Structure 1
Amino acid sequence: MKDEVPAELKELKGKYLKGNDEGKTKLLNEHYAKVKVLEMAGKPKDAKDPDGWKWLTNAEASWPYAICVILFAIFMIPGGRIQDKISPRFGATLGGFLLAAGCILAGLMKSYTGLLLGFGILGGIGMGIGYAAPTPAALKWFGPHKRGLIAGIVVGGYGGAALYISPLGEWLIEKYGISGSFIGLGILFAVVVIIAGQFLIVPREGYVPPMPPETASNNKKAVVSHSEDWSPKEMLKTWQFYALVLLFIGSTQSGFLIISNATGLLKITAFAIPFFAMNAWILASYGGLVNASGRVNTGLYSDKIGRANAYTINGIVSAICLALMPAIMASKSIVLLFIAVGIAYWQYGGGLSLLPSYTADFFGSKNLGVNYGLVFLGWGLGFFMPALAGKIKDLTGSLDLSFYISAVILVFVVILGRLIKKPEKKQLRSA
């Protein structure tokens, strides 16, 4: 097969990777699918993977992840309630257990149903409950002058996971198969999350976080110095809550657009460079590093220059890069692509440190778990953009229009971010 590919292999490869009605593909990633296509040359289309898994259509493969994302966002709300009313330790333990159980269940069932139940449902619920525990708990210990940095450090761990989970997952698949990788990751998640969760505690009632020293050099525009505590019911009556949800949607939709297409963008741009064309995962791993860095550093400078200013800088620069993305891809410049994609990842990661800080600044720390859980719905709603981009690509053959739409949305939410002000309880009494 050095110079010529058998006709039956061409046909099989085309069906497996193009994603038409009859075509089938492996869930995990395109590289793995290609390997399996070569292995299964000449086998019937309903053949199973050596470890018992059936092949999935592209549509089937997308559903477990979609369900996971939706439930992740929804269960941030009860997860936040658990963090506020019971303890972050219990929330982290429960979330870690459910996520681990979901992965192990998917590995043992070796079926599409198991994938939906295990990864999609149990995994999504577990991640939502578990993710709601650490950030609010950490923020309750610190004053507003450090909220951005603390939120960035906490959520930076989530973004940085892409650096090791992807290569670890590929190694586990190659060594132990798909089932073994699910079970192995499930055990890892159980050990790490449940043990780490035991260190999460919140301050005693009546605790007042330290404030920055009053000096003439303090930047009055940086962050608010005091926040009233709002109940979820009170928060839902303010327009600022819905504005924060829109800010979250705007930030995440552009990030999801890049994240879901990072590998494809590099393949198109670096088509003439074999190394990058065959190792397109490099851009996604690079993005994971920048994503984590953006969370920490955006939080840091938002404490210095203010949340709105930080959101504006990230949003405008990212919008410019999105608008230029079609031209960058046409230029075939790898350097420009890495810069533009890196900025998009930075903006997305930055939003995940800004929004919990915004929520604490506006609505206080007492009910921060459930309040941020409600604001976090905007993260899940931002998932519309990859779906819209897929439709646009089917109709036009490219993602160009998607980049332009995403850039316009970012500009809109940046303007909204300049208008939003801290709510006051008297606006409820006058309503």
Structure 2
Amino acid sequence: MASLVPDVLARSRSVAPPGWSRWLVPPAALAIHLAIGQAYAWSVFKPPLEDSLDLSGTASALPFQLAIVMLGLSAAFGGTLVERNGPRWAMCVSAVCFSSGFLISALGAATGAYWLVVLGYGFVGGIGLGIGYISPVSTLIKWFPDRPGMATGIAIMGFGGGALIASPWSSQLLSAFGTGTGGIARTFLVMGVVYALFMTLGVLLVRVPPEGWEPPGSRPGRPAASGALMTTAQVSARNALRTPQFWCLWVVLCMNVTAGIGILEKAAPMIRDFFSGTSTPVGVTAAAGFVSLLSLANMLGRFVWSSTSDLVGRKNIYRLYLGVGALLYLAIASLGDSSKPLFIVCAAVILSFYGGGFATVPAYLKDLFGTYQVGAIHGRLLTAWSTAGVLGPLIVNAVADARESAGHTGTDLYTTSFYIMISLLVVGFVANELVRPVHSRYHEPPAAPPGDGPGLAAARGTDTEGTPR
């Protein structure tokens, strides 16, 4: 039986049969991303953990922070394995790690051993986050070469929307089981089992296209779309790191995420502070509604903007994210406290750009580097997310704390950090303008067929990482 498991999960066993509908692949990806998107709902567990285990706010954030760090690291270092072994293997590893993280956390909560919660949810579950996040990307792009932005947008929309499901569900479970250590443990246990079953649907459903497959209506051997940055050549993950294009995109993603997460992380206290001195202050319930609105904008932006990028081009859509995003931050900093609708609309659009940036970047990578090892390249690029996940909240919180210590209140707590965000978005805008087609010296030799992936290259005795000619 032990020898059967790798065979069942092998790429060769998941090749789609004739007549297979490519529209079944996005639901398989959603089964993974809707589950791992639960990470955005970790804040639901913070208050009960703090009360039952006598933790500080900083300590209760450790599992989430470690999970995001592990997401970036596992995506970066596991990307090549994901490409080599295929999406079914990757989704299975993600499901096992993510659900096991909840089970380990349940044991930690039941025994009062908080380090087990950190280990389970943060370390083990974080590995599941990273592998799961990149697992469907390469497959979706190969199934939808004519609409890569739309395809990856559907899946990555699930990651943004996972919290919309997980947050009320977690609250209901805690209400039913209780908010003590026993109730938290049972909640973790139920979530671990249910997520394991739900993610298994994706594992069973996913398929890879057969060699030489072309989307309906396309001309064999020719790209389904054209553009100055689109290529029919292939670049390995190792070579991609040697190109200036990769590092320009790393800066673009890091700056866009830093700007978005700066609002997302302090959304509720921010809107209350902004209007605390006005005749219509914002209450706790309204602030919570604002957070839900931002989550919805984050989710919808992943699909809407990434799909739009198929029509206008990836470089143009990032001009929108970064250029218009900077102007929206300027509007909030200058006029935000004068109008609630203005503040809410600007913040929602910024968060839609934040989500859209995540969903569009795999298609941008495909345009520049081809499909050969795009999943591995995407994994390495996600280290920008890990960096931004620390940088964004650090900027906003540090500036707000310093301004509060100096006696400032209301909008004065955030104005400086907003101008910092504007500067970062300008840096990202310039990096996007510097993106050019990848030089041919980084291309794979013609002997490595497009879309085969590293597994087939290895079977032919070629170097799966490649070197510049």
TM range (shorter): 0.7 to 0.9
Residue number in structure 1 paired with 2:11: none
d(CA) in 2 for partners of 1:223, 1:300: 17
Distance 1:243 1:109, change over 3 A: same
Which whole-Å deviations, capped at 9, do the CAs of 1:338-372 have from their partners, x for residues lacking one?
20111111111111122101111111112111111
Tell me if 1:87 matches 2:93.
no
Tell me if 1:243 matches 2:233.
no
Q: Which moved more, 1:367-376 or 1:168-177?
A: 168-177
Residue number in structure 2 paired with 1:290: 297
8 Å Cα contact 1:161-1:288 kept in structure 2: no
Q: Could you tell me how far 1:219 is from its partner in structure 2?
A: 8.9
8 Å Cα contact 2:72-2:382 kept in structure 1: yes
After TM superposition, the structure 1 = structure 2 runs for residues 209-224 of structure 1, keeping only pairs within 5 Å, are: 209=215, 221=227, 224=230
SS in structure 1 at match of 2:61: helix
d(CA) in 1 for partners of 2:162, 2:198: 12
Q: TM-score, normalised by structure 2?
A: 0.75
Residue number in structure 2 paired with 1:24: none
Q: Could you tell me how far 1:427 is from its partner in structure 2?
A: 6.2
Equivalent residue for 1:361, pick from 350, 367, 373: 367
Q: Gaps spanning 5+ residues in structure 2: where? A: 1-40, 179-183, 405-412, 444-466
SS in structure 1 at match of 2:143: coil
Q: Could you tell me how far 1:82 is from its partner in structure 2?
A: 3.0
After TM superposition, the structure 1 = structure 2 runs for residues 30-109 of structure 1, keeping only pairs within 5 Å, are: 33=47, 49=51, 53-109=52-108
Identity of aligned residues (%): 25
SS in structure 2 at match of 1:382: helix
Distance 1:354 1:222, change over 3 A: farther
d(CA) in 1 for partners of 2:43, 2:305: 31
Q: Gaps spanning 5+ residues in structure 1: where? A: 1-26, 37-46
Q: Could you tell me how far 1:311 is from its partner in structure 2?
A: 0.7
d(CA) in 2 for partners of 1:205, 1:424: 27
Equivalenced residue count is 384
Distance 1:165 1:430, change over 3 A: closer
Q: Could you tell me how far 1:260 is from its partner in structure 2?
A: 0.3
After TM superposition, the structure 1 = structure 2 runs for residues 304-323 of structure 1, keeping only pairs within 5 Å, are: 304-323=311-330
8 Å Cα contact 1:266-1:277 kept in structure 2: no
Distance 1:30 1:122, change over 3 A: closer
Equivalent residue for 1:341, pick from 347, 357, 368: 347
8 Å Cα contact 2:46-2:60 kept in structure 1: no
SS in structure 2 at match of 1:75: helix
SS in structure 2 at match of 1:280: helix
8 Å Cα contact 1:162-1:285 kept in structure 2: no
SS in structure 2 at match of 1:109: helix
Which whole-Å deviations, capped at 9, do the CAs of 1:354-402 have from their partners, x for residues lacking one?
2101111111112111111111211111121212222222212222211
Q: Could you tell me how far 1:79 is from its partner in structure 2?
A: 3.8
Residue number in structure 2 paired with 1:129: 131
d(CA) in 2 for partners of 1:368, 1:292: 23
Query: Which amino acid in the other structure matches residue 292 of structure 2?
Result: S
8 Å Cα contact 2:153-2:303 kept in structure 1: yes
Distance 1:417 1:105, change over 3 A: same
Residue number in structure 2 paired with 1:163: 164
Query: Which amino acid in the other structure matches residue 112 of structure 1?
Result: Y
Residue number in structure 1 paired with 2:310: 303
Report the aligned-residue RMSD: 2.8
8 Å Cα contact 1:156-1:296 kept in structure 2: yes
Q: Could you tell me how far 1:222 is from its partner in structure 2?
A: 7.5
8 Å Cα contact 1:64-1:116 kept in structure 2: yes
8 Å Cα contact 1:322-1:407 kept in structure 2: yes
Equivalent residue for 2:441, pick from 423, 426, 429: 426
Query: Which amino acid in the other structure matches residue 301 of structure 1?
Result: T
SS in structure 2 at match of 1:365: coil
SS in structure 1 at match of 2:53: coil
Distance 1:346 1:256, change over 3 A: same
Equivalent residue for 1:117, pick from 113, 116, 119: 119
Query: Which amino acid in the other structure matches residue 328 of structure 2?
Result: C
8 Å Cα contact 2:329-2:418 kept in structure 1: yes
Q: Could you tell me how far 1:56 is from its partner in structure 2?
A: 1.0
8 Å Cα contact 1:270-1:277 kept in structure 2: no
Q: Which moved more, 1:149-158 or 1:80-89?
A: 80-89
d(CA) in 1 for partners of 2:165, 2:361: 26
Which whole-Å deviations, capped at 9, do the CAs of 1:148-192 have from their partners, x for residues lacking one?
111111111111112221111222222213222222221221111
Equivalent residue for 1:228, pick from 197, 222, 233: 233
Q: Could you tell me how far 1:211 is from its partner in structure 2?
A: 7.3
Q: TM-score, normalised by structure 1?
A: 0.82
Tell me if 1:150 matches 2:156.
no
